[in-house]
């Protein structure tokens, strides 16, 4: 067989999907038929998950049943808490703790019949519980029991702080979760599809995807994007600070994307969500500084790297929005995983529906015709 090597599988089509369409040249993201800007700030997260899993929006009864089913799986096994307590003693990264704890979710399902939908509910429902419990343990607090009377997003915020969140904060988080729930055949999604294509289970596929997401080249770095803004401090400092970084050949976090050659559409959606959140009671001075830094950075990137089209990406306004919601930077990637788990599972369902094991070719570059030499003669 003639094989063509494509580093990083660049340009290789490995799946057909109805779940999302990413057009990097047009700056367009479609989620299950909806342009992102049509869905993200209107749907609840539960509606978006239902849409991804069922290819239709739920009616009132379907939505109520779906929310009830998710809420029923929010509690995590005692052994999962034990794992989190041990991880907290070692001050492990939150993503490491999530990966380890997620693999124990199967223990909460032992004795039940094999049911992929049940596993899907359990994974999506338990991720916020795991992350919130671990964060509280890291900070010397006891984990809180989940509340079934709160939405998925509201319950996550409650379990982090112990306070019932305002509707504005819930809406801000839901918009974020909807925005990042799926994004083409990225590294973690591809990982999930490869694992499920072998006939393995959903828990294994999702745990593998968490491992892929943990890598900084995929999960991104929204925290450093916000750190840069804080270091700038005032609008007058933006241009000299950014010129100095670019002059040293450093990257500007929050700008440029492997796929998007124009402004990332997710940045637009999250910028609008951040504006609504900060206008309702946030630090507007910070919001205005972020806008100024963005405009300055885009202008200078074109000056220093003409033609590269390094525009604002999702990380930049992710950092501002999640900061406005009160989340520390160590929770940015785990919160991303809370959303993306629903997309991973949707891709697993899609892979299972017309499965063929994913098994690409490789090009051998080693030597041939070696002769064996006994160890005493080497």
Question: Catalytic amino acids?
Answer: 257, 315
Identify any residues that bridge with 23 across adjacent strands, giving them in sequence order.
28
Sheet holding 28-31, edge to edge: 20-23, 28-31, 34-35
- C-alpha to C-alpha distance for 276 and 320, rounded to whole angstroms: 12
Quick check: 324 and 267 in contact, CB under 8 A? no
Give residue 361's region: left, alpha or beta (phi > 0; psi -120 to 50).
beta
Quick check: 83 and 136 in contact, CB under 8 A? no
Nearest to 271 by CA among 227, 317, 310, 312: 317
- Secondary structure of residue 75 in the 3-state scheme: coil
Report the Cα–Cα distance between both ends of the chain, in Å, rounded.
36
- Secondary structure of residue 344 in the 3-state scheme: helix
In sequence order, which residues have a C-beta less than 8 Å from that of residue 252 and are 6 or more positions away? Answer: 228, 242, 245, 246, 297, 301, 310
In sequence order, which residues have a C-beta less than 8 Å from that of residue 160 and are 6 or more positions away? Answer: 132, 135, 136, 326, 327, 331
Quick check: 76 and 133 in contact, CB under 8 A? yes
Nearest-5° Cα angle at 192, 172 to 83: 75
The encoded tokens of residue 327 equal 């989340």
Q: Is 261 exposed, middle or buried (0-12, 13-18, 19+ CB in 10 A)?
A: middle
- Secondary structure of residue 4 in the 3-state scheme: coil
Quick check: 300 and 251 in contact, CB under 8 A? no
Quick check: 94 and 333 in contact, CB under 8 A? yes
Quick check: 357 and 198 in contact, CB under 8 A? yes
């Amino acid at each position: 067989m003639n094989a063509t090597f494509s580093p990083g599988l660049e340009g290789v089509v490995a799946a057909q999907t109805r779940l999302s369409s990413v057009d990097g040249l047009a700056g367009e993201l479609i989620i299950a038929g909806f342009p992102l800007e049509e869905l993200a700030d209107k749907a609840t997260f539960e509606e978006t998950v239902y849409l991804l899993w069922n290819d239709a929006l739920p009616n009132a009864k379907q939505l109520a049943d779906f929310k009830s089913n998710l809420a029923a799986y929010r509690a995590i096994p005692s052994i999962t808490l034990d794992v989190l307590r041990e991880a907290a003693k070692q001050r492990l990264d939150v993503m490491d703790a999530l990966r380890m704890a997620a693999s124990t979710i199967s223990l909460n399902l032992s004795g039940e019949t094999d049911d992929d939908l049940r596993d899907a509910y359990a994974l999506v429902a338990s991720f916020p519980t795991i992350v919130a419990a671990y964060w509280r343990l890291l900070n010397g607090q006891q984990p809180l029991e989940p509340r079934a009377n709160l939405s998925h997003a509201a319950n996550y915020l409650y379990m982090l702080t112990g306070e019932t969140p305002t509707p504005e904060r819930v809406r801000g988080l839901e918009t974020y979760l909807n925005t990042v729930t799926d994004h083409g055949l990225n590294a973690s999604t591809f990982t999930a599809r490869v694992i499920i294509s072998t006939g393995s289970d959903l828990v294994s596929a999702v745990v593998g995807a968490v491992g892929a997401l943990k890598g900084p080249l995929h999960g991104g770095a929204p925290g450093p994007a916000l750190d840069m803004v804080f270091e700038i401090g005032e609008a007058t400092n933006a241009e000299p600070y950014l010129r100095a970084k670019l002059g040293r050949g450093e990257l500007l976090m929050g700008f440029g994307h492997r796929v998007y050659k124009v402004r990332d559409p997710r940045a637009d959606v999250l910028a609008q969500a951040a504006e609504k959140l900060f206008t309702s009671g946030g630090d507007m001075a910070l919001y205005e500084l972020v806008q100024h830094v963005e405009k300055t950075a885009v202008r200078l990137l074109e000056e220093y790297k003409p033609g590269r089209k390094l525009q604002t990406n999702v990380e930049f306004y992710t950092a501002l929005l999640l900061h406005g919601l009160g989340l520390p930077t160590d929770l940015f990637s785990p919160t991303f995983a809370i959303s993306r788990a629903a997309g991973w599972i949707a891709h697993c369902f899609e892979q299972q529906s017309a499965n063929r094991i994913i098994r690409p070719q490789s090009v051998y570059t080693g030597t041939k015709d070696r002769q064996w030499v006994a160890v005493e003669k080497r």
